[in-house]
A and B are shown apart, each in its own frame.
Chain A
Amino acid sequence: MKMQNLFLFLSIGLLLSCNQQAQTQANAQAKVQPHNQAKDISKQRQHVHAVTKPHASIFMDYEIVNPVELNRMLDIKLTFMSKRNTDMLSVEYSLDAGLSANGEPRQFEFKQLAKGETKSIVLKVMPEQAGEFSINVYASIEINGKNQSRAFIVPISVPQSANSIQSQAVTEKPQGNAANKGMRFMPEQNVISMPANESSN
């Protein structure tokens, strides 16, 4: 009985603690919005006890250094860390249509990364359209001759500029992935209908 009470007390305490921490983080984020974000997303989206697939031992935080504005160069700081000594860290990235790198390098390589050590790079990206975009980042590490990779996304939300709103010269948000086309949500039948390739022989 005492153990149960103790467990209940600990549980409530833990919940309160978590709640306070969540609020603190939310407040901290609000203070630095809209252009400062730094997080390892993989830790945030999942259920508390979600059991996940293994990943390469490389972690990334990002920070959008300056305000996101249409046609204004954006600095995005990426910071990498590994929990293990690695012989090499290579980073590559690609941009959604609507963002451009203006000839900036797309690949980076570090010879060694000690356990717990961080390495940072700054990407320079030009938002050329308003809308929601992704920077796809691929980080590969080499440990004992074995290569392992992990993918990250830096989401970029580009607001329309005041000028573009006034002139109605707003560029349209890019259309959805072409691969989505042809998938139809049919709520009355509760299916996502996809087209088959049919033959009759």
Chain B
Amino acid sequence: MRFIKLNIISSSVVSIRVTRTSGLNPADPDIYIYKNGEQVQKADNTGANAEFLSTTLPAGNYVVEIKEYGYSSSNAKLTLNTFQQKTSNSVQLQATAAAVSSCTPGNDSIVSGNLTFDRVYHAGTALNYSDIRPLPIQQALVEVICNSDGHVYSSMSSGSAGDYALSFPKNQASFVRVKAQMRNGAAWNFSVVDNNNTVFDIDGNPLKPVYAMDGDFFTVSTDQTKNLHAPSGWGGSSYSSPRVAGPFAILDSVRKAKDKILSVANVNFPALNLNWSVDNSTASIGGSFYDGTEIFLLGKENNDTDEYDEHVIIHEWGHYFEAKFSRTDSIGGPHSGGDILDIRVAFGEGFGNAFSAMVTDDQFYIDTVGRQQDYGLFIDMEDNNCTNAGWYSECSVQSILYDIYDSSNENLDSLTLGFSGIYNILVGTQKDTEAMTSIFSFIKLFKDQNASSSNAIDLLLNAQGIDSVSDVYGSTQTTSNPGATNQLPIYQNY
């Protein structure tokens, strides 16, 4: 016997990993899945000593066969920890599988309700703990977990009102879990994870745990309502209980950024982890940042917390967007509003700031820090009076981009072009520009697509000390050297 019987209650992702534990070395295990005797999936790669298969299976009964290549199944005796114990003279394999609940279905009840989290709002540049409001947890992964084995019995994404309704095994102890994870097939997969509690899979890949809000386990015989709320944990002068709302506040900001992109284009998003922890401090991770693969966010109380600073989260998500959908040549590093920056950094950071205001339709970027989160940093996208304005200023870049986007026109701003035009340049011609990515490349390419707005764009540029742009290299820039240095022309000809 070397078969595993799988009973899939509802459509589930099933992951099976097989590894050699002893005997023949190297071994070459393979995995086959059958339904009614017909093979529906297989994994028969030639890698030594391990095999892995992950697939979505509709509800139904399946048979999994695990065998060692080169040996007939009847000789390949297996060690199947999860299901049954077997041994072999030739090789011993260990199989583990996930996502299959041992709670037995039949006459399920329906458990439904609403999911909410506390959002702490700002007062000036501080978090205002007198202004905490419950908001719906939208598009998060909700699961009914069979209490006896921890497996998922049923799952769905919460609705726009934070609503859910799931099958619940009748008279079998289970509970409702809400993950700080937004998943929709291949379209997106955003997870808020803890970077301070990492385990490693068999291949040495880090598995960072996802934050999850769990209800108490219970049994039902009839349909029931269960509302779950994620509290902030604020106790009056400090956080005195778990900060459950934090990961869901982060997820909510990510949802807004994702939806902004989806409002202008139907795209799939590469998976992204957002690493957050109450131990992430300016000493342990520096500042919140995107490293080209993942986002890291501060969470240390009395130092710097970013879970309620939407602009900070979306700023970093904007860097992810640039890297995955557009192109950024930024060399990164620390930066402030009045800094004279490398043109690549100035554009990337100015875009990040402006993007956060576009997504939220809130011109005020607020980043709270300090004791009881009572201090902060404040940037007004509509304050066009930038210190050290110019092509090397993130403030100038954010001012120009936001004025191109926004519907509020003031002084020299007569533009209300919205997001789609900006998006089209970023994911289009800006990706292939021969020059470095900068305000020059963006504006030249944007003008090419919006010729009727060219003069109005030049007014915005001139107000920031940037000469009218006619090519991606900024070759018409003859004024506005940064500080006392001579950096012109920006590109030398050879």
- Asked whether, in the complex, the Cβ of B290 is within 8 Å of the Cβ of A192, the reply is no
Q: How far is the CB of B127 from chain A (nearest CB, A)?
A: 13
- Asked whether, in the complex, the Cβ of A46 is within 8 Å of the Cβ of B286, the reply is yes
Q: Give the total of A residues in contact with B, Cβ under 8 Å.
A: 60
* Bound-state Cα–Cα, A183 to B331, Å: 37
Q: How far is the CB of B109 from chain A (nearest CB, A)?
A: 13
* Bound-state Cα–Cα, A73 to B289, Å: 36
Q: How far is the CB of B36 from chain A (nearest CB, A)?
A: 32
The segment from B43-51, B58-66, B336-344, B428-436 that touches chain A is B336-344
List residues of chain B with CB within 8 A of the CB of A105.
none
Q: Mark A144-187, 1 if CB is under 8 A from B, else 0.
A: 10111111110100000000000000000000011111110111
- Asked whether, in the complex, the Cβ of A177 is within 8 Å of the Cβ of B283, the reply is no
Which of B226, B328, B371 is close to A198, meaning CB atoms less than 8 Å apart?
B226
Q: How far is the CB of A180 from chain B (nearest CB, A)?
A: 6
Would you call A44 an interface residue if the criterion is a C-beta within 8 Å of the partner chain's C-beta atoms? yes
Would you call A50 an interface residue if the criterion is a C-beta within 8 Å of the partner chain's C-beta atoms? yes
The segment from A5-13, A26-34, A52-60, A63-71 that touches chain B is A52-60
Q: A52-B287, A54-B377, A193-B214 are in contact. Are A42 and B334 (CB under 8 A)?
A: yes
Chain B: which residue is nearest A152 at the CB level? B282
**Residue in B177, B279, B332, B348 with the greatest tally of chain A CB atoms within 10 Å:** B332
Would you call B74 an interface residue if the criterion is a C-beta within 8 Å of the partner chain's C-beta atoms? no
Would you call A104 an interface residue if the criterion is a C-beta within 8 Å of the partner chain's C-beta atoms? no
List residues of chain A with CB within 8 A of the CB of B306.
53
List residues of chain B with CB within 8 A of the CB of A153.
281-283, 300, 303
* Bound-state Cα–Cα, A147 to B368, Å: 12
Would you call A102 an interface residue if the criterion is a C-beta within 8 Å of the partner chain's C-beta atoms? no
Q: A49-B292, A51-B290 are in contact. Are A138 and B333 (CB under 8 A)?
A: no
* Bound-state Cα–Cα, A197 to B226, Å: 10
- Asked whether, in the complex, the Cβ of B282 is within 8 Å of the Cβ of A192, the reply is no
Chain B: which residue is nearest A41 at the CB level? B283
Q: How far is the CB of A159 from chain B (nearest CB, A)?
A: 19
- Asked whether, in the complex, the Cβ of B291 is within 8 Å of the Cβ of A50, the reply is yes
Q: A193-B212, A201-B225 are in contact. Are A188 and B150 (CB under 8 A)?
A: yes
Would you call B489 an interface residue if the criterion is a C-beta within 8 Å of the partner chain's C-beta atoms? no
* Bound-state Cα–Cα, A187 to B199, Å: 7
List residues of chain A with CB within 8 A of the CB of B212.
191-194
Q: How far is the CB of B5 from chain A (nearest CB, A)?
A: 22
Q: A42-B287, A151-B282, A182-B242 are in contact. Are A47 and B292 (CB under 8 A)?
A: yes
- Asked whether, in the complex, the Cβ of B377 is within 8 Å of the Cβ of A177, the reply is no
Would you call A140 an interface residue if the criterion is a C-beta within 8 Å of the partner chain's C-beta atoms? yes
Would you call A195 an interface residue if the criterion is a C-beta within 8 Å of the partner chain's C-beta atoms? yes
Chain B: which residue is nearest A187 at the CB level? B199
Would you call B244 an interface residue if the criterion is a C-beta within 8 Å of the partner chain's C-beta atoms? yes
Chain B: which residue is nearest A82 at the CB level? B336
Q: How far is the CB of A84 from chain B (nearest CB, A)?
A: 5
Would you call A200 an interface residue if the criterion is a C-beta within 8 Å of the partner chain's C-beta atoms? yes
Would you call B352 an interface residue if the criterion is a C-beta within 8 Å of the partner chain's C-beta atoms? yes
Would you call A196 an interface residue if the criterion is a C-beta within 8 Å of the partner chain's C-beta atoms? yes
- Asked whether, in the complex, the Cβ of A150 is within 8 Å of the Cβ of B214, the reply is no
* Bound-state Cα–Cα, A177 to B225, Å: 34
- Asked whether, in the complex, the Cβ of B278 is within 8 Å of the Cβ of A180, the reply is yes
- Asked whether, in the complex, the Cβ of B369 is within 8 Å of the Cβ of A149, the reply is yes
Q: How far is the CB of A162 from chain B (nearest CB, A)?
A: 28
Give the contacts of B109-143 with A (CB-CB under 8 A): 125
- Asked whether, in the complex, the Cβ of B209 is within 8 Å of the Cβ of A136, the reply is no
Would you call A117 an interface residue if the criterion is a C-beta within 8 Å of the partner chain's C-beta atoms? no
- Asked whether, in the complex, the Cβ of A50 is within 8 Å of the Cβ of B303, the reply is no
Chain B: which residue is nearest A149 at the CB level? B375
Would you call B178 an interface residue if the criterion is a C-beta within 8 Å of the partner chain's C-beta atoms? yes
- Asked whether, in the complex, the Cβ of B371 is within 8 Å of the Cβ of A94, the reply is yes
**Residue in A149, A153, A182, A194 with the greatest tally of chain B CB atoms within 10 Å:** A194
- Asked whether, in the complex, the Cβ of A191 is within 8 Å of the Cβ of B179, the reply is yes
Q: How far is the CB of B253 from chain A (nearest CB, A)?
A: 13
Would you call A48 an interface residue if the criterion is a C-beta within 8 Å of the partner chain's C-beta atoms? yes
* Bound-state Cα–Cα, A134 to B279, Å: 12
Would you call B26 an interface residue if the criterion is a C-beta within 8 Å of the partner chain's C-beta atoms? no
- Asked whether, in the complex, the Cβ of B338 is within 8 Å of the Cβ of A83, the reply is yes
- Asked whether, in the complex, the Cβ of A182 is within 8 Å of the Cβ of B211, the reply is no
List residues of chain A with CB within 8 A of the CB of B333.
43, 50, 52
A-B contact pairs, 26 of them (CB 8 A): A45-B283, A45-B286, A47-B332, A49-B330, A50-B292, A52-B288, A54-B367, A57-B336, A83-B338, A134-B281, A134-B283, A134-B303, A136-B302, A136-B303, A136-B371, A149-B375, A152-B282, A153-B283, A177-B239, A190-B199, A190-B207, A190-B209, A192-B211, A194-B230, A198-B229, A200-B225
Q: What is the interface of chain B, defined by CB distance below 8 A to chain A?
A: 125, 150, 176-179, 194, 197, 199, 207-216, 224-231, 233, 238-244, 278-279, 281-292, 300-304, 306, 312, 315-316, 319, 328, 330-339, 348-349, 352-353, 367, 369-371, 375-379, 387, 394
